[in-house]
């Protein structure tokens, strides 16, 4: 299998993030993608290719131009306004309650403010999204990685893997958040729909609900969104991800959320995956975009599922058994020592190669930082 990688992600070198006001070491760090790249290269069965530049149009087909402008301008603007922190992170967000009782037309006309800190809130969801000097370039490159993986599949490959970083599935049409700036999977799915005229399914197996992907396709019938994730009753992003969210308008019935309890193990997860795959198999289309996260892993410092490396091989095998072509894009996963082995297992499963486990990773090195 070919996998698409760009070193541009290295410049998105976040050091800290905040959780409920506490500063902690960043979880979404360059080492994540480097671990995966190194393991896939060492495997010998994967071929690294660089991305091709697709320009801004595929991003603007999915995202508000204002969000794209913000991501491109924010760092320079923050420095010009003497915000000299190691990263730009908002503390004030325009809660919809701020505008309660005001007409939608009035609210839509509110200016986003000139303050870089205010703009970070205007276009943001949460305080887990540090923006640094290299963020804009990395976010653009991650989109090109995704679109290049899509090109490989549109060109006839059965499957391709895009090692996207930063991840994308929390980014909505006009909102960054949750380590995400541009929604790589949504941009790829939208581009595939436009290139083929066919329906596309997105299977999101990151630990978290992909609120951004759900929002982008909420009223569209041409993209089926299926997500397995931690129940928002206990986990980020809290306000979306429930089972009764099934889409509206033309998108009615094209959104399937499968929220799962803490402690979900291999067996329970595979049963949920089969439910998701049944929904995809029942819908038309030839290509599936996979939002692949490994924060479902038992040792993940953020997640509370109990999956093993071995089950990722079986997950990849079952997804490939759909018989559809796969554009597999990296989302989350924060237990760094296991990331390479977990990605390798999933992708080997998707290719029909045997699992052949690697020697155990050094558990505990980065086992928990919160």
Q: Among residues 226, 255, 244, 183, which one has the least CA distance to residue 319?
A: 226
Residue closer to Zn ion by CB (options 56, 301) is 301
Our finding on whether 245 is near Zn ion (CB under 5 A) is no
> Residue 24, class by beta-carbon neighbours within 10 Å (0-12 exposed, 13-18 middle, 19+ buried)?
middle
State the DSSP code for 11: G
The question of whether 170 is a catalytic residue gets the answer yes
Our finding on whether 177 is near Zn ion (CB under 5 A) is no
User: Which residues inside 200-239 make contact with Zn ion, applying CB under 5 A?
Assistant: 206-208
Cis amide bond preceding 237, omega within 30: yes
Q: Measured on CA atoms in the order 15, 302, 317, 313, is the torsion positive or negative?
A: positive
Our finding on whether 166 is near Zn ion (CB under 5 A) is no
Q: CA-CA distance, 302 to 292, in Å (whole number)?
A: 16
Q: Map residues 328-347 to x or -, x wherever contact with Zn ion holds by CB under 5 A.
A: ----x---------------
In the complex, minimum distance from the CB of residue 55 to Zn ion, in angstroms, rounded to a whole number: 28
Q: Map residues 6-25 to x or -, x wherever contact with Zn ion holds by CB under 5 A.
A: --------------------
Our finding on whether 170 is near Zn ion (CB under 5 A) is no
Residue closer to Zn ion by CB (options 19, 358) is 19
Our finding on whether 293 is near Zn ion (CB under 5 A) is yes
Cβ contact 129:176 at 8 Å: yes
Identify the active-site residue in 170, 208, 229, 313: 170
Q: Which of 17, 28, 204, 295 forms a contact with Zn ion (CB under 5 A)?
A: 295
Our finding on whether 251 is near Zn ion (CB under 5 A) is no
Output the six-digit token pair for 185.
Answer: 């999977």
Q: State the DSSP string of 77-105.
A: HHHHTT--SSSB--S----GGGGTTS-HH
Residue closer to Zn ion by CB (options 124, 251) is 124
Give me the active site residues, please.
170
Q: Which residues bind to Zn ion, rule: CB under 5 A? A: 206-208, 293, 295, 332
């Amino acid at each position: 299998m070919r996998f698409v990688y760009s070193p541009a992600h290295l410049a998105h070198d976040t050091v800290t993030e905040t959780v409920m006001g506490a500063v902690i070491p960043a979880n979404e760090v360059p080492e994540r993608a480097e671990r995966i790249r190194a393991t896939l290269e060492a495997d010998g069965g994967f071929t690294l290719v660089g991305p091709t530049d697709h320009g801004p149009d595929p991003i603007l087909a999915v995202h508000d131009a204002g969000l794209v402008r913000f991501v491109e301008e924010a760092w320079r603007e923050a420095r010009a306004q003497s915000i000299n922190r190691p990263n730009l992170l908002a503390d004030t967000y325009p809660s919809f309650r701020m505008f309660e009782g005001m007409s939608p037309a009035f609210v839509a006309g509110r200016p986003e403010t000139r303050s870089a800190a205010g703009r970070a809130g205007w276009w943001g969801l949460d305080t887990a999204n540090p923006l640094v000097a290299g963020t804009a370039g990395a976010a653009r490159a991650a989109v090109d990685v995704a679109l290049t993986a899509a090109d490989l599949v549109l060109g006839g490959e059965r499957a391709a893997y895009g090692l996207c970083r930063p991840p994308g599935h929390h980014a909505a049409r006009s909102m960054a958040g949750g380590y995400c700036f541009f929604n790589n999977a949504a941009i790829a799915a939208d581009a595939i729909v436009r290139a083929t005229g066919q329906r596309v399914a997105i299977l999101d197996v990151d630990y978290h609900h992909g609120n951004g992907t759900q929002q982008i396709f909420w009223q569209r019938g041409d993209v089926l969104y299926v997500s397995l994730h931690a129940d928002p009753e206990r986990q980020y992003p809290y306000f979306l991800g429930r089972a009764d969210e099934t889409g509206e308008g033309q998108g009615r019935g094209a959104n399937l959320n499968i929220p799962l309890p803490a402690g979900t193990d291999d067996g329970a997860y595979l049963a949920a995956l089969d439910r998701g795959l049944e929904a995809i198999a029942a819908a038309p289309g030839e290509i599936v975009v996979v939002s692949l996260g490994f924060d479902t892993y038992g040792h993940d410092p953020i997640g509370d599922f109990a999956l093993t490396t071995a089950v990722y091989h079986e997950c990849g095998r079952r997804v490939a058994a759909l018989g559809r072509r796969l554009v597999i894009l990296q989302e989350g996963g924060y237990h760094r020592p296991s990331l390479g082995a977990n990605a390798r297992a999933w992708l080997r499963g998707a290719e029909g190669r045997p699992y052949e486990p690697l020697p155990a990773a050094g558990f505990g090195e980065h086992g928990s930082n919160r």
